[in-house]
Structure 1
Amino acid sequence: MHELTLYTNPNSRGRIVRWLLEELAVPYQVKLLQYGGEMKSADFLALNPMGKVPALTHGNLVVTEAAAICAYLADHFAEKQLAPDPQSPERAAYYRWLFFVAGPLEMATSAKAYDWRIDADNAPAVGSGFYQDTIKTLETALANGPYLCGEQFTAADVYVGSHIMWGLMFKTIEPLPAFLDYTERLNARPAAIRANQLDDALLEKTTQG
């Protein structure tokens, strides 16, 4: 039995982790959970009390939250070089943009999608601040190279790139040239293509019952 198990649904952020696992090229197994009963079952709630996917088990360890899973896997499989060396200057950018997207960007795009009010009265207290400020800040992340850490592709690109792709698809992120060029590079990666094919096949299987 594989030591790594991904609990996921193809219509979830589990796609992020699937992509990273394909980039790592390590053995893993997938456990598909349907929304509703399966994600709220006692067995799964024992792993993740939130009742949400993705979740990853690694032996007896449990990691939840897609950004945390990406960081954990990149560090555990350090030889795969999907995270900058801890002593390198690029490590700061790696952490910065990984968690910028997990925090401010997630908040800003959710607010846009659901028409939540962020204005001069509450923007100082909201992690994202104004939507446009968040988008402009994200654009600066791509100013210094093909990837977030310059020439090195990292787990942060998997996480950030996935959010930009979804934002472009659902129109919660503006189709700026920097975002379009970046996602085009990412979508061409063999591991990204494999991950999408695997999840699309899983989605088709669940649709067919």
Structure 2
Amino acid sequence: MAKDMTLLWGSGSPPCWRVMIALEEKNLQGYNSKLLSFDKMEHKSQEVLDINPRGQVPAFKHGNVVVNESYAACFYLESKFKTQGTKLIPDSPEDQALVYQRMFEGLTFYDKLTKVIFYEWYVPKEERHDSAVKRNLENLVAELKLWEGYLQKLGSDTYLAGPSFTLADVVVGPTVAFLFRFGLSAERYPKLGEYYARLKERPSMKASWPPHWLEDPKGQDTLKDI
């Protein structure tokens, strides 16, 4: 099964990481995996464009099925291999509702994070505005408080939608890891810190941990003061 799969990906990209975690959780090791360099613009190569005409990663193919959007790929893998590996979507519609809610809130969470990080990376200094920096940080802090509250309400030793690891954790987990990679304080956000510690111990996370994070465990301190 996995031998018919191809994943083109970039290290540290949360969308790529989502698909990799889903593959691990569904016991689909052994797929054709190719790490691309963002610095060398390999995600714009013809190899990627042949699968994903947007020139973005992940670029994922299973047989003749192409699914490049990370959320869609994760849904596809859970649906296609429902009885294999970890059950990522619960049977109860009520439980499903919370999983889906957290999944799609995760898109907003990731968007608010990237507006802080990418503003610093991609906007030239002479074009930056203090008001934009302040607004982006305030929006991210408000979002962090929401997720801290969600985990607080669920109690100890929980995942995002309850006691079981679900598709919500597959897609939002990399965002949380990205936050701490960029210096988020576990003392200031203890529930998110506890959740991150649980994620790091999960075999699927360890197996798919970004290679350049392993080479440079320290990360950056962009978010240390928020």
Give the SS at the match of 1:78.
coil
Distance 1:129-1:99 versus aligned 2 partners, 3 A rule: farther
Consecutive unaligned residues in structure 1, runs of 5 or more: 205-209
1:57 corresponding residue in structure 2: 61
Deviation (angstroms), 1:57: 0.7
**How many angstroms apart in 1 are the aligned matches of 2:47 and 2:32?**
17
2:46 equivalent among 42, 45, 62: 42
1:97 corresponding residue in structure 2: 102
Q: Show CA shifts across 1:29-76 (max 9, x none).
A: 212333345321234213212212112111111112322222222222
**How many angstroms apart in 2 are the aligned matches of 1:24 and 1:91?**
18
Distance 1:89-1:4 versus aligned 2 partners, 3 A rule: same
**Percentage of matched positions with identical amino acids:** 32
Could you tell me whether the CA contact under 8 Å between 2:6 and 2:62 is conserved in 1?
Answer: yes
Could you tell me whether the CA contact under 8 Å between 1:97 and 1:141 is conserved in 2?
Answer: no
Consecutive unaligned residues in structure 2, runs of 5 or more: 121-128, 216-226
2:219 corresponding residue in structure 1: none
CA RMSD, 1 decimal: 2.8
* TM superposition score normalised by structure 2: 0.73
Distance 1:44-1:105 versus aligned 2 partners, 3 A rule: same
1:30 corresponding residue in structure 2: 33
Deviation (angstroms), 1:150: 1.0
Q: Show CA shifts across 1:58-102 (max 9, x none).
A: 1111112322222222222222411122x4211111111111112
1:20 corresponds to 2:22: yes
**How many angstroms apart in 2 are the aligned matches of 1:74 and 1:174?**
33
Could you tell me whether the CA contact under 8 Å between 2:78 and 2:87 is conserved in 1?
Answer: yes
**How many angstroms apart in 2 are the aligned matches of 1:109 and 1:165?**
11
**How many angstroms apart in 1 are the aligned matches of 2:35 and 2:133?**
36
1:181 corresponds to 2:202: no
Give the SS at the match of 2:168.
helix
**How many angstroms apart in 2 are the aligned matches of 1:11 and 1:163?**
10
* TM superposition score normalised by structure 1: 0.78
Could you tell me whether the CA contact under 8 Å between 1:3 and 1:58 is conserved in 2?
Answer: yes
